Amino acid sequence: MLNSYLHLNSKLFDKDAEQKPTRDGYGEGIARLGLTNPDVVVLTADLSESTRCEEFARKFPERFFECGVAEQNMAAIAAGLGVSGKIPFISSYATFSPGKNWETIRTTIVYNKSNVKIAGHHSGIVTGPDGATHQATEDIAITRAWPDIKVIIPCDWIEAKKATIYAGETEGPVYLRFTRDKTPTITTDKTPYDGLKIQTFWVSENPAATIFATGHLLYYALLAAKNLSEKGIEVLVANVSSIKPLDGEKALELVEKTGAAVTVEDHQVIGGLGGALSEFFAKTKPVPMEFIGLQDTFAESGAAIELIKKYQMDEVAIEKAVKKVIKRK
């Protein structure tokens, strides 16, 4: 059953349930921060509309910097602002930032512990028709490898707004990951949020496996849990919004209840959530695991829903993975 005490969206599984891209939450979050903290500044690389910086730019033009198509310059400028008392947010497509400007972020922002927030937009295969060149599916791996950075992936637009505000109020480099396509609204304004904690969104008695999901694919994990429950198979579903630092204490608690784990992410299975959890469980409690995500391949162009099905990230694939991992216990 959905964890009702967390105030999740009661209409989540309805056909007409609300859907919005997580980038909308980012736009609302930076606008809110702009009102409450005069040190917040926003930079973008000729993508103010796509990355939802427009409202901030209209309200605070003196704190908005249009850097043009120059992601490396944008990162270096932000690094200087971040060590000078400002709180910069840099906004671009994730394939360009942190993709194209990876080394600049590493050397000028992360190495110097500059207080910069990196907003990577158009992540995952749900970027859809733009194809592999714009579908960021390696960004979790390349950012979590940096020392002392937080990597946060909101599950919906409401959590994205909360995550953006949290990042602005947190000292040090943060990577925030957002989607372009509309995705289901899972949480509500009343859902508790702690940017670094794992939350259990589906609870059951005598669960046989734990599904750890991050980002918008949490919806498919919850749908799989619902379908499995109707077939007599009970699971736990956890929302892992922070990949780094990983909430190891909660992850261990959940996997000790079930003895098996499935990870779900719109990312390569190499180096993302699955990699982070398997590294952790190898040191603490080795368990059978299955991994939902891109299986060492680029995705094609196409409608987001079609790509999720083709690359086996939907509820059907998750159900199969759960049944498979239970047999391996």
What is the SS3 string spanning 251-281?
A: HHHHHHHHCCEEEEEEEECCCCHHHHHHHHH
Same domain, 174 and 29: yes
Respond yes or no: is residue 138 known to be catalytic: no
Q: What is the pLDDT of residue 245?
A: 98
Boundary of a domain, candidates 184, 217, 232: 184
* Active-site residue, selected from the candidate residues 28, 71, 159, 319: 71
∠ Cα 54 50 39 (to 5°): 45
User: Which residues lie below 8 Å from residue 321, measured CB to CB, with a gap of 6+?
Assistant: 262, 290, 291, 292
Q: How far apart are CA 89 and CA 63, in angstroms?
A: 11
Same domain, 179 and 295: no
User: What is the H or E stretch that residue 293 is in?
Assistant: strand 289-294
Same domain, 206 and 322: yes
Same domain, 201 and 149: no
Same domain, 210 and 118: no
Q: What is the pLDDT of residue 275?
A: 97
Which DSSP string do the residues of 122-165 spell out, in sequence order?
A: SBSGGGGGG-TTT-B-SHHHHHHTSTT-EEE--SSHHHHHHHHH
Q: Tokens at residue 98, please?
A: 């942190």
Same domain, 149 and 221: no
Output the tens digit of pLDDT for each of the chain's 329 residues: 999 899 999 999 998 999 999 999 999 999 999 999 999 999 999 999 999 999 999 999 999 999 999 999 999 999 999 999 999 999 999 999 999 999 999 999 999 999 999 999 999 999 999 999 999 999 999 999 999 999 999 999 999 999 999 999 999 999 999 999 999 999 999 999 998 999 999 999 999 999 999 999 999 999 999 999 999 999 999 999 999 999 999 999 999 999 999 999 999 999 999 999 999 999 999 999 999 999 999 999 999 999 999 999 999 999 999 999 999 99
**How many domains does one find in the chain?**
2
Q: Which sign, positive or negative, has the C-alpha torsion 39, 188, 140, 182?
A: negative
Is the bond preceding residue 184 a cis peptide, omega within 30 degrees? Answer: no
Boundary of a domain, candidates 184, 219, 241: 184
Same domain, 238 and 260: yes
For residue 28, CA distances in Å to 34, 53, 171 come to: 10, 9, 20
Boundary of a domain, candidates 184, 209, 237: 184
Same domain, 111 and 36: yes
Q: What is the pLDDT of residue 62?
A: 98
Q: Of 32, 52, 7, 8, nearest to 222 (Cα)?
A: 8
Q: How far apart are CA 30 and CA 4, in angstroms?
A: 29
CATH number at residue 76: 3.40.50.970
Same domain, 169 and 308: no
Same domain, 175 and 218: no
Cα-atom radius of gyration of the chain, to the nearest Å? 19
Q: What is the pLDDT of residue 195?
A: 86
Same domain, 259 and 296: yes
- Strand-strand pairing, 150-152 and 242-244: antiparallel
Domain carrying residue 178: 20-184
| Residue 142 and residue 199 in contact, taking contact as beta carbons nearer than 8 Å | no
